[in-house]
Chains A and B, each alone.
Chain A
Amino acid sequence: MYMKIIGGILIIVSAYIMGVYYAQREKLKIDDLEEIKKGLSIVKDEIMFLSMPLGDAFSQASEKVTGGAALVFSRIGQGIKANPDAAIADVIDKTLDESISETFLKKEDAVDLVSLGKTMGDMDSDHQRAGIDMTVSDIDGKIGILKKKSEKNEKMYRSIFVLGGILIAVVLI
């Protein structure tokens, strides 16, 4: 009997942990978007104050952000420098295809970067700043939606998994 109770408790605790993990995934997604936002602000500063070429600006930003975003920025920087004939948007698109799995994001979450790439490079610094500001504002919007979704889903995931765990435990006992 003791074994059954211990087994049941283990199932419920595991289900709770899975619930927390699922709820946390949304938060980690938000963290990645926050880091991308931070990286873009750094790219903007490098452009505005140091007139740094895009490839170097992304590489510099990659050193100051964390998580998967650092890898994405670093690969975009390398891609721009290594492919002088390629369009910036294509480099970003290819990088996202290759590296998005290293983050908690899906490609559609970071597609704003590709749109930004289409406006980058052949404009003056004021237009570059405006383009980055617009992208940051779009990301802010996404973060806002995700935060609301996360708050709502956090309780839901925990409840569903705990209830699911209890159900499995009862059935097994």
Chain B
Amino acid sequence: MGEKTIFDDVLGKKLRTVLARFERSKWEGIEEIRIRLNKPLRIKLSGRSCFIDESGLESSAEKAFIPDERCIYETIEVITEHSLYSVEEELKNGYITAKNGNRIGVCGKVVWDKNGIRTIKNISSLNIRFAHEIKGCGKKASEYIFEKRKLCHTLIVSPPGCGKTTILRDIIRILSDEWGFNIGVCDVRSELGGNRYGRLDLGKFTDVLDSCPKALGMIMLLRSMRPDVIAADEIGRKKDISAIEEVINGGIKLICTIHGTDIEDIKQKPYFSNLLEKKIFERFIVLSAKEKPGRIAGIYDRDLNLIYRE
């Protein structure tokens, strides 16, 4: 048996062979692998996109490796461990969570019935997004989320792919391990804590409610585990906002992330402006992918005054 690679749990045999030839020192920088049926194989490497040829070398689109139906089938088999039924519910939402919290976006033919989406068949595109665990990346941000030694309700604002989940994961770990907070994590897609086959470190005093809808999960954590802090990724729906209000009324601190380019952007989000007007969040950490993913573009207080910039 060959040496274990980061591609073992997310790629089928053929694609794994191609990517395993890619320069090993750059593996850690791979953020995404985009596999499209009969289209060039493309990866996102440290913030830039490039094509990969059959020898695992960077190439032009014309010379890139072209995945066929077999490549996609093999990859699905590996990701689902030959058990497509085990990811039925995720597939209805257009993604599959693989080992270690890696998330795979799926496109193909959507099958509908009277109850909504049944499944996706004839899968034609996969976007494999690697979950990165970078211990220490949330250290700086965590220094600014306290006021008079009291933890603040914190919102991490970031466009997709700028590292908000990675920073949230590390902040949770720091608050748990270094500050001793009991933290309840509502992890809808197993991205924060990974799944049972590969756990990511969320600290010693953290309880994870895995694969549970956010709004429901936050209330469940509030009532069942009575944590000091509740953390959730990618809030923004109407139900999430009511859950946030209930959590805050329950005296629990909240750390969440939201998609957005900056504070002005989230002000435009439906349901969210009301929360901002009430000044419920006491800290806003805005991330940007400029220079490198996870760069702190600014940390703001409840009155939106800038208190830190990287």
Contacts and interface: CB of A to CB of B under 8 A. Distances in A.
B82 A125 contact: no
A85 B8 CA distance: 10
A128 B85 contact: yes
Contact of B83 (A85, A121, A127): A121
B80 A85 contact: no
Interface string A17-39: 00000000000000000000000
Nearest to B84: A122
Nearest to A81: B81
B82 A123 contact: no
Interface stretch (A48-56, A105-113, A141-149, A162-170): A48-56
A51 B82 contact: no
Interface residues of B, number: 19
Given A53-B83, A54-B83, A124-B119, A84 B88 contact: no
A121 B87 CA distance: 11
A110 to B, nearest CB: 20
Interface in A109-151: 120-125, 127-128
Contacts of B119: 124
A77 B73 CA distance: 21
A97 to B, nearest CB: 20
B91 to A, nearest CB: 9
B58 interface: no
Interface residues of A, number: 20
Contact of A47 (B13, B77, B85): B85
A85 B74 contact: yes
Contacts of A85: 12-13, 74, 77-78
A80 interface: yes
A84 B81 CA distance: 7
A88 interface: yes
Nearest to A48: B85
Contacts of A55: 81-83
B86 interface: yes
A57 to B, nearest CB: 8
B80 A53 contact: yes
A125 B105 CA distance: 21
A90 to B, nearest CB: 11
B120 to A, nearest CB: 11
A51 B118 CA distance: 16
Nearest to B81: A53
Given A85-B12, A85-B74, A121 B88 contact: no
Nearest to A50: B86
Give the interface centre of B8, B12, B77, B85 by most chain A CB atoms within 10 Å. Answer: B85
Nearest to B74: A85
Interface in A50-89: 51-55, 57, 80-81, 84-85, 88
A120 B86 CA distance: 12
A54 B88 contact: no
Interface string B86-109: 111100000000000000000000
A122 B12 CA distance: 15
B310 to A, nearest CB: 41
B82 A124 contact: no
A125 B86 CA distance: 8
B85 A80 contact: no
Given A51-B86, A53-B81, A85-B74, 7 more contacts: A51-B83, A51-B87, A51-B88, A52-B86, A53-B83, A55-B82, A84-B8
15 contacts: A47-B86, A51-B85, A51-B86, A52-B83, A53-B80, A80-B81, A80-B82, A84-B78, A85-B77, A121-B77, A121-B84, A123-B85, A124-B85, A124-B88, A124-B119
Interface of B: 8, 12-13, 74, 76-78, 80-89, 118-119
